[in-house]
Structure 1
Amino acid sequence: MKYKLIPFLLSFGLCGAAYAQFQQNNPGANHGNKFEQLETIIRDPNMYRSASGAPGPAYWQQKADYVINAEIDEKNQRLIGSETVTYTNNSPDPLTYLWLQLDENEHKSTSDNQSFDGSKMGDRMSIRQLQTIIGGTNDYGVNILKVTDGAGSALKYTINQTMMRIEMPKTLAHGAKFVFKINWNYKITDRTTVGGRGGSEYFPEDDNYLYTIAQWYPRMAVYSDFQGWQNKQFTGRGEFALTFGDYKVNITVPADHIIGSTGECQNYSSVLTGAQLNRWKQAQSANEPIEVVTLAEAKNAMKSKSTAKKTWTYYAQNVRDFAFVSSRRLVWDAMKVNVEGKSPMAMSYYGPEAYGLYRKYSTKVIANTLKVYSKHTITYPYPVAISVEASNGMEYPMICFNYGRTEKDGTYSEATKYGMIGVITHEVGHNFFPMIVNSDERQWSWMDEGLNTFCQYLAEQEFDNNYPSRRGPAHLIVDYMKLPKDQLEPIMTNSENIINFGPNAYAKPATALNVMRETVMGRELFDYAFKEYARRWAFKHPTPADFFRTMEDASAVDLDWFWRGWFYGTDAVDISLDNVIAFRMDSKNPEVESAYQRKQAEENNFIIARKRNRDAGITFAVEADTSLLDFYNKWDRFAATPATKENFNKYYASLSADEKKLYDSKTNFYQLDFSNIGGLVSPIIIEWTYTDGTKEVETVPAYIWRKDENKVTKVFAKTKTMASVKLDPYLETADIDASNNSFPRVNQPTKFELFKQQNQVRGASTGGNPMQEAKKTQK
């Protein structure tokens, strides 16, 4: 045992775990693995979920309706709430208890997620890392004050960390409803130091708070046909799946606060000023964002600190969750968006520090997102879509929290601008996945984050043709996919077990879908099938099998090999072009073949001694004594003769019209040898460059690997003469090694950058700031 005192620095930063190997059907063979069907590893179809990937004829799901009263106690930094829940059992199963989620309990010192990760001391340690190591007790988490049935009789309940079980007084039969009530409160955490999805942010310069209230009330867990109760604990990573229902929520806050929320406000006339109400009415028909609450009004409210209270009332129909923002330091702008015959309101809420970016971009980015996502999935069904600047990135029905703040002088970097547009697109896009197509991210992160990141990429590219998307293009996933196997896990991995969460749950599935759309299926087939999946499972609870089956069912493309490789495995695409052999047809024409044979003979019979003897000026015997020369010294063995010419004419005359056409085409044949080094089967995309300078690109389907998953050889017929061959010329397959993609081989120059790690407040300007430099030179 050794003891050593090592100094470390206090800093502000973060990190996360597991790897699974996909089982092969035919281990040890060079075939029978990668192209076998998925039936052995996905759920069998049944009356609830059909073999086509659509909901079955007996599909059902539960319903939970809420009436909630909530109050923000700004003085004591507490949220106080009471709710009445009406739970409808649409399942065929009789239920004796209910499970609810208490996500705020993730902050309790006794919660497992506070201690189940390993830890190490480093040269730089954050306050949060040290607090986790030190441990101790805190007063975070939900305080349940009372649980009763609709008549007021107490109900027995048990809290297991972030889950609460309520025992019903009698069994809840199919089709029956159960009404119960809960009173609770909790200390609002400082989201910037404690972390978590909801909480507050304090602004010391004006002594005000921004409250982003999310995952805040006891929420019904999902009871489904495929897993019963979804009661996996909330550890802070895997987000949630919830039951759809209707909400009426009364929110009491200081009178000078502005609220943005899930749903539609029912009493703007009593909580807004006359001027603000008029601007709200104008915004409902505006094509440009109108400030309902102006920057000047927000700055005035920041100084007022009202002690009076106001209650805002919201109603939301057929949503799975409810969240809101509240603060006196909010600008609020809004405009109408025309989305395939519907007119939702796009709205943004942001503080003065974000005004220079959010006023220009946020609401218009919402509009672009709704339009592009609606085109590729379903028409956006809700009445509003809200973006809130909160130095955050999280989503809820109709509202999301994003980041993007300018410098003090109002300038911002290009990285901050595009980062902000990207996060708004992503979080607004979550309305579709998983707020409407209600997948369970606590089980399968990719069904939420991956599908949404793919659609985000589509929306970014339709926002700006030069948009610098960070996820989606195939070449951007290469560095992740070439990592050692012990640092990788399949996409089909539970949220808490993923080491590199961003690449695995966001980037890789988004890239896979982009490869499927652009390279494997083509846009027309893919877009139809993807839209069909969204249509089938809108406002329902899909599983991975439902997605896999729908994509095949609606396209008539066998994709099992693709799901196996990209979603169930950790192999990478690395196709090597090992060899190219050119073949020429024997023309039998002596005038053509004689020249070729003469050249081949010269090349095959070349002896270096002969050349050096000639160079040395040696006098050869047959030159010194010409009597040694005879017929064979003068005979041209390759010259065409009358007999060979006559034989050729007879041969050509015997050919049919089709044979003469092929003969006259002078086709070149090239035999290419390929190796699947990476293990992930993929289409082979070949770019031919010809001696005349022209190029041709062709694609060989991935099915070429089905009989030998390691090596294949294929012959190509070309009317032109090849100069070079290159694989994956547009970088669309995520091939991790381009050095073996060309024939002849091409050197791949590389460069490196000396990089200094920096820690930034989320949402602050990052990277170079040419705007600021230009502003300085103008003074």
Structure 2
Amino acid sequence: MRITLFALLMVLSAGLFAQTENVNKNPFRQLYTELPTPNVYRNAAGAPGHEYWQQQADYEMEIRLDDAEQKIYGTSKITYHNNSPDALDYLWIQLDQNVRALDSDTYKIGTSNVNERMTLRSLSRLEPTFDGGFKIDYVKDGSGKAANYTIEKTMMRVDLAEPLMPGASTELQLKWWYNINDRMKDGGGRSGSEYFEEDDNYLYTIAQFFPRMAVYIDNEGWQNKQFLGSGEFALTFGDYDVKITVPADHLVASTGTLQNPNDVLTREQRKRLDEAAKEFVQPVIIATQAEAVEREKTKSAKEKTWHFNAENVRDFAFSSSRKFIWDAMAVKQSDGSTVMAMSMYPKEGNPLWERFSTKAVAHTLKWYSHYTFDYPYPVAWSINAANIGMEYPMICFNFGRVEEDGTYSERTKYGMIGVIIHEVGHNYFPMIVNSDERQWTWMDEGLNTFLQYLTEQQWERDYPSRRGPAHKIVDYMKGDKKFISPIMTNSESIWQFGNNAYGKPATGLNILRETIMGREQFDYAFKKYANRWKFKHPAPADLFRTMEDASGIDLDWFWRGWFFTTDHTDIALSSVEPFRVNTRNPMVENEMTKQQMKAREENISTIRNREEIAQTYDEQDRTLRDFYTEYDPLSSTVLDKEEYEQYLKGLNDAERAVLAANKYYYELTFENKGGLVMPIILEFTFADGTTEVQRIPAEIWRKDYKKVSKVFPFTKEVKSINLDPFLETADTDRSNNYYPSQTEVSRFDLYKSRSRGGGENPMQRDRRAKEKEGSNR
């Protein structure tokens, strides 16, 4: 047969392409192309390099909250320390309040459409009406001379008169004000005011309230990506000295330590605080509900200034209201230090908040510290807000309100505890392990959600955690890939924000801990990452590399599949083939063959012939029968026995042991239908009712990531096999996980339709039942 040169080249190139494609798609190839090259700032082990550096920005601020007009006025002096090896011609400052400016890109890029039926409220949402954003009065240098600056939406560039050289510092002076948004109306948001019409009072949760230095960093340069609303904040560590002027009857909670308690607290409040510092079991009420109700009524026209200091924090936030109830308790750390866990909340949060909030704060500090490092700050606040969960150093804003009769639903209770754990937990990620939220939401939200799950399970057995276990991410993983993003997607471009940035990373870490690495190895490596990067700026590669470096486990295949692709887990147990060793013993093998022949199903013709054929020819004429008519090939003779004994003499001890064991061998074939490789976990159930679990590492897929086979020997007969029996791998289709095959029955509940917000919660129903029982006596 003649083969042209062209045809030969085509055949060779096709084979080469197939080989290259297989290599390029192999999930076990190393992450060299996906991760940045290690250097003197971030080494290959995932740790800060020997020349690692980071900038510092210190703030002195005076802030006034105008309760009558809902405005914030502020002045600040920023001292910026250039610890980089670079000379800086300009500085970038974040103006995140500008996200609410009337010309904000956030409004412009939001998609919208007109329906056949539109309400006036829905029409009003099509264009901004709230005049938010910073109003900058001036920007000056340290000498008081006006500085050149350019505002680019949510960023401001300040041009320096001379380059800021490595090791040098410079000062900026700023003055600004802005309108405080109504968190319940003006587009929501992470901070703002809440108005209580029944007592004509406000509750303020104030953040992003000052121009903040952007991060200049070795792997990014200036992080001056615009704030569009989803990607949160990249911030620089520094020291803060902040004075906050508010109405005299307000209570203020803030980042930092209060410097002037004698000026702003009553003698009784200071005495109660001293008691709380010694109480490690139950919170002490610092400002009672009765006192809060009185403040709501009187409304002082005077003002007080609260003075706070905070060291080595990346941000600053505060809350202020005359409605606040305040409680506190001490938390003892493993290093012997004491942290004050505290809460402020209006009466609309009681009795729920008084019972749970501060204890949830204390519980979070205990368990996050267990998995990472001792909490380094003196205080941790939980502040009640109607519709928000948001975090800042030492303070967070959390939802959770009761019904008018003081009852609450189970969902409200666990939702509140969960959000407090989550937001207090953010003190660790990203407030201390200071990742870039503007770029990678998952680095703080995902890691924090994972630790939230561990902490919730320490709160109460079978705590109804929303995220963490592998089976809870299945519906998302098997969804339409058009609406699923890889985890390694910029924060502003993510489909399904909660699943992508919170749920999937948290689940992945739990799979690593429970199934791939084991708890001991995972906990050691994760704690190593947290301690390496506390008070520093880690990137994704630093986490990936540290987890491998500290554990000795190659996880590139996992990072690639779980974080860089949208593949899902669907491993099918496609076939099971049972085998037995041929013992060559005629007494054993022949008897086994006879039993198999008896058990063999007959075809329809044989069955009907037995019924319809009265006599065969040889039954009518016996002369047709000879030796082979009566011959039984499965009967054992003396010759068979002699040959078997001769066969045994030719075997060594190991071979004879295999024959004596007479094991069952099951060849299992697995298909990777979802694209994501995972360990193979199998539960075998035997004929005697006993079970055995076998765990096969994911590396079984290293040569062929689409289909693999493996033989399992047992001394007992297998009756059934269950793949992923403990729901560890987020397998999206369990109908192909069984031998013999079986169908999983999906259960559904019937709900009686009811209007939103209607019906009783269980506490109300129980109360009504008891009242009825009492009236019937």
TM-score by length of 1: 0.94
Q: 1:56 aligns with which of 43, 49, 64?
A: 49
Sort the Cα spacing of 1:102 and 1:83 in 2 relative to 1 into closer, same or farther, 3 A.
Answer: same
Alpha-carbon offset, residue 112 of structure 1: 0.7
Residue 196 of structure 2 corresponds to residue 218 of structure 1: no
Q: 2:324 aligns with which of 325, 330, 336?
A: 330
Residue 224 of structure 2 corresponds to residue 231 of structure 1: yes
Match in the other structure for 2:143? 151
Q: Distance in 2 between matches of 1:189 and 1:355?
A: 26
Alignment of 1:383-462 (within 5 A): 383-391=378-386, 392-462=388-458
Alpha-carbon offset, residue 607 of structure 1: 4.6
Residue 171 of structure 2 corresponds to residue 183 of structure 1: no
Query: RMSD in angstroms over aligned alpha carbons?
Result: 2.0
Moved more, 653-662 or 274-283: 653-662
Q: Distance in 1 between matches of 2:239 and 2:752?
A: 50
Q: 1:69 aligns with which of 62, 68, 75?
A: 62
* One-letter amino acid matched to 1:192: M
Q: 1:528 aligns with which of 511, 524, 527?
A: 524
Match in the other structure for 1:21? none
Alpha-carbon offset, residue 635 of structure 1: 2.1
Alignment of 1:251-266 (within 5 A): 251-266=244-259
Q: 2:305 aligns with which of 278, 300, 311?
A: 311
Match in the other structure for 1:663? 659
Sort the Cα spacing of 1:126 and 1:196 in 2 relative to 1 into closer, same or farther, 3 A.
Answer: farther
Instruction: Give yes or no for contact 1:98–1:166 (8 Å, CA) kept in 2.
Output: yes
Q: Distance in 1 between matches of 2:111 and 2:90?
A: 35
* One-letter amino acid matched to 1:563: W
Alpha-carbon offset, residue 464 of structure 1: 1.3
Match in the other structure for 1:642? 638
Instruction: Give yes or no for contact 1:214–1:324 (8 Å, CA) kept in 2.
Output: yes
Q: Distance in 1 between matches of 2:121 and 2:529?
A: 42
Q: Distance in 1 between matches of 2:746 and 2:598?
A: 41
Q: 2:355 aligns with which of 360, 372, 379?
A: 360
Residue 707 of structure 2 corresponds to residue 715 of structure 1: no
Summarize deviations over 1:249-308 as a string: whole Å, max 9, x none.
101100110001101101112211111111011001112100101111111111111101
Instruction: Give yes or no for contact 1:394–1:401 (8 Å, CA) kept in 2.
Output: yes
Q: Distance in 2 between matches of 1:80 and 1:38?
A: 49
Match in the other structure for 2:338? 343
Q: Distance in 1 between matches of 2:118 and 2:371?
A: 45
Instruction: Give yes or no for contact 2:56–2:80 (8 Å, CA) kept in 1.
Output: yes
Q: Distance in 2 between matches of 1:644 and 1:130?
A: 94
Sort the Cα spacing of 1:315 and 1:394 in 2 relative to 1 into closer, same or farther, 3 A.
Answer: same
Alignment of 1:562-711 (within 5 A): 562-601=558-597, 606-616=602-612, 618-711=614-707
Q: Distance in 1 between matches of 2:760 and 2:310?
A: 43
Match in the other structure for 2:35? 42
Sort the Cα spacing of 1:408 and 1:125 in 2 relative to 1 into closer, same or farther, 3 A.
Answer: farther
Q: Distance in 2 between matches of 1:192 and 1:100?
A: 28
Alpha-carbon offset, residue 628 of structure 1: 3.2
* One-letter amino acid matched to 1:177: S
Sort the Cα spacing of 1:455 and 1:147 in 2 relative to 1 into closer, same or farther, 3 A.
Answer: same
Alpha-carbon offset, residue 154 of structure 1: 1.1
| Counterpart secondary structure, 1:38 | coil
Moved more, 640-649 or 727-736: 640-649
Sort the Cα spacing of 1:285 and 1:689 in 2 relative to 1 into closer, same or farther, 3 A.
Answer: same
Summarize deviations over 1:582-624 as a string: whole Å, max 9, x none.
0110011111111122344556794533322322361233333
Q: Distance in 2 between matches of 1:488 and 1:755?
A: 30
Q: Distance in 2 between matches of 1:128 and 1:738?
A: 46
Q: Distance in 2 between matches of 1:53 and 1:767?
A: 54
Alpha-carbon offset, residue 115 of structure 1: 1.1
Alpha-carbon offset, residue 123 of structure 1: 7.1
Q: Distance in 2 between matches of 1:474 and 1:130?
A: 42
Q: Distance in 2 between matches of 1:33 and 1:128?
A: 53
Q: Distance in 2 between matches of 1:445 and 1:180?
A: 30
Sort the Cα spacing of 1:756 and 1:452 in 2 relative to 1 into closer, same or farther, 3 A.
Answer: farther
Instruction: Give yes or no for contact 1:25–1:36 (8 Å, CA) kept in 2.
Output: no
Match in the other structure for 1:10? none
Q: Distance in 2 between matches of 1:401 and 1:767?
A: 28
Instruction: Give yes or no for contact 2:58–2:238 (8 Å, CA) kept in 1.
Output: yes
Sort the Cα spacing of 1:535 and 1:369 in 2 relative to 1 into closer, same or farther, 3 A.
Answer: same
Where relative contact order (Cα < 8 A, 6+ residues apart) is larger, the structure is 1
Moved more, 29-38 or 505-514: 29-38
Alpha-carbon offset, residue 633 of structure 1: 2.3
How many residue pairs get matched?
A: 751
Summarize deviations over 1:502-531 as a string: whole Å, max 9, x none.
000000000000001100111111111100
* One-letter amino acid matched to 2:177: N
| Counterpart secondary structure, 1:178 | strand
Summarize deviations over 1:109-131 as a string: whole Å, max 9, x none.
10111111221234786877533
| Counterpart secondary structure, 1:39 | coil
Match in the other structure for 1:302? 296
Moved more, 613-622 or 718-727: 613-622
Sort the Cα spacing of 1:382 and 1:123 in 2 relative to 1 into closer, same or farther, 3 A.
Answer: farther
Sort the Cα spacing of 1:339 and 1:27 in 2 relative to 1 into closer, same or farther, 3 A.
Answer: farther
Instruction: Give yes or no for contact 1:453–1:507 (8 Å, CA) kept in 2.
Output: yes
| Counterpart secondary structure, 2:572 | strand
| Counterpart secondary structure, 1:664 | helix
| Counterpart secondary structure, 2:447 | helix
Summarize deviations over 1:669-724 as a string: whole Å, max 9, x none.
10011110000111111111111111111111111111111111111111111001
Match in the other structure for 2:501? 505
Q: Distance in 2 between matches of 1:546 and 1:465?
A: 34
Sort the Cα spacing of 1:713 and 1:630 in 2 relative to 1 into closer, same or farther, 3 A.
Answer: same
Q: 2:158 aligns with which of 149, 161, 166?
A: 166
Q: Gaps spanning 5+ residues in structure 2: where?
A: 1-16, 772-777
Percent identity over paired residues: 54
Moved more, 680-689 or 120-129: 120-129
Q: Distance in 1 between matches of 2:291 and 2:357?
A: 19
Summarize deviations over 1:348-383 as a string: whole Å, max 9, x none.
111111111111111111111111111111111111
Moved more, 674-683 or 631-640: 631-640
Q: Distance in 2 between matches of 1:271 and 1:759?
A: 47
Match in the other structure for 1:4? none
Q: Distance in 1 between matches of 2:572 and 2:45?
A: 37
* One-letter amino acid matched to 1:384: V
| Counterpart secondary structure, 2:551 | coil
Q: Gaps spanning 5+ residues in structure 1: where?
A: 1-23
Instruction: Give yes or no for contact 1:62–1:243 (8 Å, CA) kept in 2.
Output: yes
Alpha-carbon offset, residue 756 of structure 1: 9.3
Match in the other structure for 2:106? 113
Q: Distance in 1 between matches of 2:758 and 2:555?
A: 41
Q: Distance in 1 between matches of 2:729 and 2:109?
A: 38
Sort the Cα spacing of 1:26 and 1:639 in 2 relative to 1 into closer, same or farther, 3 A.
Answer: closer
* One-letter amino acid matched to 1:92: P
